[in-house]
Amino acid sequence: MASDPFQLFDEWFAEARASEPNDPEAMALATADPQGRPSVRMVLLKGHGPDGFVFYTNQRSRKGEELAENPSAALLFHWKSLRRQVRVEGPVKIVACEQADAYFASRSRDSQLGAWASNQSWTLPSRGEFEKRYEDIRTRFDGQDVPRPPHWGGFRVTPETIEFWSDRPHRLHERRLFSLGADGWTESLLYP
């Protein structure tokens, strides 16, 4: 048994980066609306450590609005090449503006412009309308840096539980559950 789930995550994540053919940082993000109706989608991990797992998005998107109303989430990493998955559950907070600004500045210019042009998750009458909005934004910021939109930022999921799942023959899988308590992290095993 280990005592540091973040060290174990770092080891597994490094192996996934070496073996996964596409997007080892992809994770399923599950949120729920105030009535408890769940929704899930894929996002990209952009930072992690003992303080949590960070991703960025339009805060007026469906996931952003659900997190504003119900600031709890679950994450799932599935690394098929390794036959492993990691589940993370916990409360969610918005990252500091300085951190969001720094990450936004690291994105490609087209991605920056797209963050301004897209009303993510809203109904789009036609693809042409989005393309026109994108061109208008490109013209607006021509010859200058693209600032982070005020509605775009990061979220940090601070884990209360982290489960490490390893495939085993005959569905006799290994499941290691780390739970955060008053005295720190404890590890237990779960039946497959």
Classify residue 167 by its DSSP letter: -
Quote the Cα angle for 7-45-104, to 5°.
125
Give CA 106 to chain center in angstroms: 17
Report the catalytic residues: 171
Quick check: 56 and 76 in contact, CB under 8 A?
no
DSSP tag of 42: E
H or E segment and range at residue 31: strand 26-32
CA separation for the pair 176, 137 (Å, rounded): 48
